[in-house]
């Protein structure tokens, strides 16, 4: 005689099946993560990586659907909102977890797709890819959260109206933060600088280390980290010294008035052309700057590639040392600031003898 299947046996069977599904999904995801870690040190194909992500997403979605059907959370024959078999709170909570899990799996797959289609385009920076992924992620989670909230309330319209008023109040209270966020989007699309660029923003100068929607972080050459709100960044002049991948450096040098400026310029130009720290194209130039108090000032202009503070100071030091040695060998004097004092004989007027008083003027007599 076959014993009837009790509700307890059915529950135990469902629990075992659910555990098997969860272990299978977690095993696939962990296996894919280990595979990606091994491929980081090798030249992995992006198409294979995308296929692995698709497989993980399909496995996760299949596991979620299996759990939903196993526990009869949704009637497969009806799609209306009233067909949800969610009379108890436990069922609603379980379905909410399922929806959030599916959203998590979907965001990972979407991130791989974005990386696949935008990774080979030089016109799209890493920062822009990150922003697109984060916006997509926030949109998916917002939609999932809206669905989850709808599971626990039937009056969703009133809830959205209340959320709208709350959003207006929060927006007025945090208008400065929202302004920074909008400025962050403007910086993202205008692209005045990217991570790793050497920039000067207002009184701050350094290397851009991070760009978020709200702030821009800069590491100064003194090793300090400066965090600037994006609304302040967009409202100030921005100087990008690495925009074109090269930077012009000018070193001023003075020569004595007794020397020929053209000869001194030719010697300096030929000297800096032999330096490894500077570029040959564009060619170095030497121009006359001004007549100084003690010297004729020349400007030695050279270019460096991949500009950085270290490369700039290294090139500047090399130019100073090379020009100094070349002028020393050529007998060209680099004068230091000096003043010439001259005396002249007194002409006219009168001298006051020792012990005598000068005559009083008419104003003093009165």
CA angle 257, 260, 261 (to 5 degrees): 85
- DSSP-derived letter for residue 193 is -
Task: Write out 296-357 in H/E/C secondary structure.
Answer: EEEEEEEEEECCCHHHHHHHHHHHHHHHHHHHHHHCCCCCCCCCCCCCCCCCCCCCCCCCCC
Burial of 186 (0-12, 13-18, 19+ CB in 10 A): middle
Q: Which residues of the chain fall short of a pLDDT of 70?
A: 1-9, 40-47, 50, 68, 71-92, 94, 116-128, 130, 150-176, 338-340, 342-366
CA 141 vs CA 101, 107, 166: distances in Å: 10, 9, 19
Tokens found for residue 48: 């294979």
- Pairing verdict, β 204-211 and 296-305: unpaired
Task: Tell me if residue 289 falls in helix, strand or coil.
Answer: strand
- Tell me the β-bridge partners of 29: none
| Closest of 153, 115, 155 to residue 133, by C-alpha | 115
Calculate helix-pair angle for 89-118, 126-152, nearest 10 degrees.
160
Task: Tell me if residue 28 falls in helix, strand or coil.
Answer: helix
pLDDT of res. 39 = 72
Other CB atoms within 10 A of residue 112 CB: 20
CA 202 vs CA 48, 192, 194, 224, 312: distances in Å: 46, 14, 17, 16, 21
Establish whether the linkage from the previous residue to 318 is cis, with ω within 30° of 0: no
pLDDT digits (tens, 9 = 90+) for 71-115: 665 544 334 444 444 445 666 676 777 777 777 777 777 777 777
pLDDT of res. 7 = 59
Instruction: Domain ranges for the chain, please list them.
Output: 8-173, 186-240, 246-330
Q: Which residues, 6 or more positions from 355, have their beta carbon under 8 angstroms from its beta carbon?
A: none
Write down the pTM of the prediction.
0.50
Q: Which of the four CATH numbers 3.40.190.10, 3.20.20.140, 3.40.1780.10, 3.30.70.100 does domain 246-330 have?
A: 3.30.70.100
Return the CATH fold of 186-240.
Answer: SH3 type barrels. (2.30.30)
Task: Tell me if residue 287 falls in helix, strand or coil.
Answer: strand
Helical residues (DSSP H) of the chain, grouped into ranges: 7-39, 46-70, 89-118, 126-152, 156-173, 175-190, 230-234, 261-272, 309-330, 362-365
């Amino acid at each position: 005689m076959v014993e009837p299947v009790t509700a307890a046996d059915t529950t135990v069977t469902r629990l075992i099946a659910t555990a098997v599904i969860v272990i299978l999904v977690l095993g696939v995801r962990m296996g894919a993560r280990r595979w990606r870690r091994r491929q980081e040190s090798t030249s992995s194909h992006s198409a294979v990586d995308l296929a692995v992500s698709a497989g993980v997403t399909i496995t996760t979605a299949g596991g979620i659907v299996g759990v939903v059907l196993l526990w009869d959370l949704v009637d497969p024959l009806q799609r209306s909102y009233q067909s949800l078999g969610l009379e108890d709170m436990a069922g609603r909570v379980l379905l909410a977890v399922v929806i959030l899990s599916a959203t998590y799996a979907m965001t990972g797959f979407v991130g791989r797709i974005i990386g696949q289609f935008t990774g080979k385009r030089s016109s799209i920076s890493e920062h822009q890819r990150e922003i697109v992924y984060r916006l997509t992620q926030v949109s998916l989670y917002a939609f999932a959260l809206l669905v989850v909230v709808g599971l626990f309330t039937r009056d969703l319209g009133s809830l959205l109206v209340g959320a709208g008023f709350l959003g207006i109040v929060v927006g007025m209270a945090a208008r400065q933060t929202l302004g920074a966020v909008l400025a962050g989007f403007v910086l993202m699309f205008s692209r005045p600088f990217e991570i790793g660029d050497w920039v000067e923003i207002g009184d701050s100068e350094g290397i851009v280390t991070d760009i978020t929607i709200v702030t821009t972080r800069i590491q100064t050459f003194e090793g300090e980290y400066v965090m600037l709100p994006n609304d302040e960044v967009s409202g100030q002049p921005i100087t990008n010294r690495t925009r074109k991948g090269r930077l012009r450096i000018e070193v001023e040098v003075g020569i004595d008035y007794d020397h020929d400026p053209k000869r001194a310029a030719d010697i300096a130009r030929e000297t800096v052309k032999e330096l490894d720290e500077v570029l040959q194209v564009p060619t170095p130039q030497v121009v006359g700057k001004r007549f100084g108090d003690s010297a004729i000032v020349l400007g030695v202009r050279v270019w460096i590639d991949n500009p950085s503070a270290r490369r700039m100071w290294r090139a500047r030091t090399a130019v100073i040392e090379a020009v100094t040695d070349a002028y020393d060998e050529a007998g060209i004097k680099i004068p230091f600031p000096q003043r010439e004092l001259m005396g002249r004989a007194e002409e006219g007027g009168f001298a006051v003898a020792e012990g005598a008083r000068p005559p009083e003027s008419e104003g003093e007599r009165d």
